[in-house]
């Protein structure tokens, strides 16, 4: 069955049904697989869409995902099945192989800044595609974060509909602006700077903080101090690389076996009231039945406590 | 800090902040801990609220959760913090220790039916409490489902607000009824019986099926054929025990190391348009950045494929 979307009739959830993705290699489960992202194994991935090279050796490489969540169709097509619909909608799924090295977490500032440039370039391209409503950039690191390959990589998906979580966020930015004529994130940042207890780090350009309603243990957000709706301003990339490296180094020092998801929140097309930010969501505890059934989260480390521990910087596990 | 609720300002999420819960024992992480749910260790739990006994030995035991997600306050209290609010709201969290045996998955019908009776009794009691808006019953089994103790147990939480996911579902039942004058679940069941391809099992009283928009690999729902808004009809318990046992036996036969969450969906207080059902959500794959960032799910085993595999009944891992 071709990958397609299904809308849950009992909730606001959309599900991508994709039998192909069960064939993905997983080097957390099977340590004998040959890493398709390592130099020399380039033939195991689709052809490169983009390569940053030094001499004839690539150091950043972008390919289409071999097991894409969604695929490119010529047109969006609906198929009825009793009272249900299947949506064969356009999408595109790319992988950014961040480094030729199988195990490398801390890039130098220049390399990290170039990764951001590549993100920006590919995201803008995906936004230009027909039926592309939202482009999501994320990274899964470690087995508890749902990664299937260890080799450092991130992913970009172009979606035919604005995801419910993004729409929810956009609505809240818009509502706050109409009510107060101010940006929601700008006010949250002001609030955090005033209260001090959830700020991990601040410089002239960025703030790193644990959000008031942190869903996950040690959840960390990075936001620009200056109001900017999207991530695409290249002037930020060096400063962002600097602060990014600092946060991840600290997290990796405290937790031996860190798994995390990282999600870029940037304004959808034609949305003005937004303030981009990056969410780093460590996966130190598993969501359980209560979370799945309610949509609530239980967080056993308050963001205030998380910031104290992060500032102390001592190893926990 | 006392457990309390925080409302995310960027989304419709509620978070329970609870530093105490990080002290929970975890026998998946530390195999040397003494199981507080085994007979002889009763002093390690709060006193029993209810015990079903044979002679002087209990075989089902209900206690307050030693590390409750929410606690009982005399009154709901709000505390302002800059632009945020903390909600010190009433809640209660109980644990049903389902058996004295540390490793037992397949109870006989009579025992399982008695567990359902205990669920029903405690849920009704929690609904009678002041400020109790919704009572959620769930079970976490296995490390990937977020369980911290292996000894079979389930949990009931009384909540001061109707969770977003439940409210979403209630709205859809209500809207469907106003539009078609029919029950949404009754129509879904009719649809599934007609199409056949997602039905695992059906008898005179219950249907077991994989929902059209399954979020998780091998997601399975159990629903009564007869329209009933809540779970409290004791006449069902024997038949439910029968079918329940069958489904779990099959899942455990196919997957050696099965983790799952089980969630009872039953009508909130004063809600008429609902049709109760049980969701069994195996945790065979980890949700990743795409899921956390979008609210979408990617499912790599279509429900049609899952039913084929379940019917075949061969071991997978």
Nearest-by-Cβ selection for A18 from B138, B289, B300:
B300
Q: Is the pLDDT of residue B317 over 80?
A: no
Could you please report the per-residue DSSP string of A200-262?
EEE-SSEEEE--TT--STT-EEEEESS--SSS--GGGHHHHHHHHHHHHHHHHHH-TT--EEE
Q: Is B233 on the interface with A (CB under 8 A)?
A: no
Q: How far is CA A78 from CA A21, A68, A81, A87, B300, in A?
A: 22, 20, 10, 5, 20
Q: Is the pLDDT of residue B209 over 70?
A: yes
Nearest CA in chain B to A139: B289
Q: Is A290 on the interface with B (CB under 8 A)?
A: yes
Q: What pLDDT is stored for residue B228 in this prediction? A: 97
The C-alpha angle with vertex A173 and arms to A172 and A175, in degrees rounded to 5, equals 60
Mean pLDDT, chain B, integer: 93
Q: Is A106 on the interface with B (CB under 8 A)?
A: no
Q: What pLDDT is stored for residue B60 in this prediction? A: 97
What domains, with CATH codes, occur in chain B? 4-162 (3.30.428.10), 165-312 (3.30.428.10)
pLDDT band at B287 (very low <50, low <70, confident <90, very high): confident
Decide if B101 contacts B107 (C-beta within 8 A).
no
Looking from the CA of B232 toward its CB, the CA atoms found within 13 Å total 13
Nearest-by-Cβ selection for B213 from A15, A187, A299:
A15
CA–CA distance, B193 with B207 (Å, rounded to integer): 9
Give burial (CB, 10 Å; 0-12/13-18/19+) of B315.
Answer: exposed
Locate A207 and state its tokens: 């703030």
Residue ranges for chain A with pLDDT beneath 50: none
DSSP annotation of B46: P
Residues from chain B contacting residue A261 (CB–CB below 8 Å): 288-289, 292-293
Residues from chain A contacting residue B188 (CB–CB below 8 Å): 9, 83
Give burial (CB, 10 Å; 0-12/13-18/19+) of A130.
Answer: exposed
Q: Is A291 on the interface with B (CB under 8 A)?
A: yes
In B, residues 171-210, which contact A (CB 8 Å cutoff)?
172-173, 184, 187-188, 191, 194-195
Could you please report the per-residue DSSP string of B194-263?
HH-TTEEEE-SSEEEE--TT--STT-EEEEESS--SSS--GGGHHHHHHHHHHHHHHHHHH-TT--EEEE
**Which residue is associated with the tokens 């508890």?**
A144
In B, residues 240-269, which contact A (CB 8 Å cutoff)?
261-263, 265
B9-51 residue pLDDT tens? 999 899 999 988 878 888 777 778 899 999 999 999 999 999 9
Q: Is B18 helix (H, G, I), strand (E, B) or coil?
A: coil
- Distance of residue B16 Cα from the nearest chain A Cα, in angstroms: 5
Q: How far is CA A198 from CA A9, A95, B16, B83, in A?
A: 39, 33, 17, 14
CA dihedral A281, A224, A199, B71 (to 10 degrees): -50
Nearest-by-Cβ selection for A17 from B143, B172, B299:
B299
Q: Is B29 on the interface with A (CB under 8 A)?
A: no
Q: Is A34 on the interface with B (CB under 8 A)?
A: no
- Distance of residue A100 Cα from the nearest chain B Cα, in angstroms: 22
Residue among B137, B125, B124, B158 nearest B233 (CA): B124
Nearest CA in chain B to A82: B191
Q: What pLDDT is stored for residue B163 in this prediction? A: 92
Residues from chain B contacting residue A304 (CB–CB below 8 Å): 1
- Distance of residue A55 Cα from the nearest chain B Cα, in angstroms: 34
Section B94-106 average pLDDT: 91
Note the pTM of the prediction, 2 decimals.
0.94
**Cβ contact, residue pair A213, B15, below 8 Å:** yes
Q: Is the pLDDT of residue B105 over 80?
A: no
Q: What pLDDT is stored for residue A181 in this prediction? A: 97
Chain A / chain B CB contacts < 8 angstroms: 261
């Amino acid at each position: 069955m071709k990958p397609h979307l299904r809308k849950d009739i009992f909730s606001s959830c959309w599900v991508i049904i994709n039998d192909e993705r069960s064939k993905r290699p997983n080097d957390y489960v099977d340590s004998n697989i040959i890493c398709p992202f390592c130099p020399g194994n380039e033939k195991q991935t689709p052809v490169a869409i983009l390569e940053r090279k030094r001499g004839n050796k690539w150091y950043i490489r972008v390919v289409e995902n071999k097991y894409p969540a969604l695929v490119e169709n010529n047109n969006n097509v609906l198929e009825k099945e009793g009272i249900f619909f299947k949506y064969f909608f356009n999408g595109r799924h790319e992988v950014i192989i961040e480094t030729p090295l199988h195990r490398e977490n801390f890039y130098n500032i220049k390399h990290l800044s170039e990764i951001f440039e590549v993100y920006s370039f590919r995201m803008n391209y995906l936004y230009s595609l027909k039926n592309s409503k939202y482009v999501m950039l994320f990274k899964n690191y470690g087995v508890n974060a749902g990664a299937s390959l260890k080799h450092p990589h991130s992913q970009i998906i172009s979606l035919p509909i604005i995801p419910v979580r993004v729409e929810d966020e956009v609505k809240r930015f818009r509502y706050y602006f109409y009510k107060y004529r101010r940006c929601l994130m700008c006010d949250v940042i002001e609030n955090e700077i005033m209260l001090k207890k959830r700020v991990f780090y601040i410089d002239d350009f960025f703030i790193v903080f644990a959000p008031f309603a942190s869903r996950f243990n040690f959840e960390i957000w990075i936001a620009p101090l200056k109001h900017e709706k999207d991530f695409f301003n290249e002037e930020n990339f060096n400063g962002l690389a600097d602060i990014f490296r600092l946060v991840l180094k600290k997290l990796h020092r405290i937790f031996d076996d860190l798994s995390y998801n990282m999600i870029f929140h940037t304004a959808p097309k034609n949305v003005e009231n937004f303030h981009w930010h990056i969410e780093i969501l460590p996966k130190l505890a598993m969501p359980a039945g209560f979370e799945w059934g309610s949509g609530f989260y239980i967080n056993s480390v308050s963001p205030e406590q998380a910031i104290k521990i992060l500032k102390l910087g001592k190893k926990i596990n």
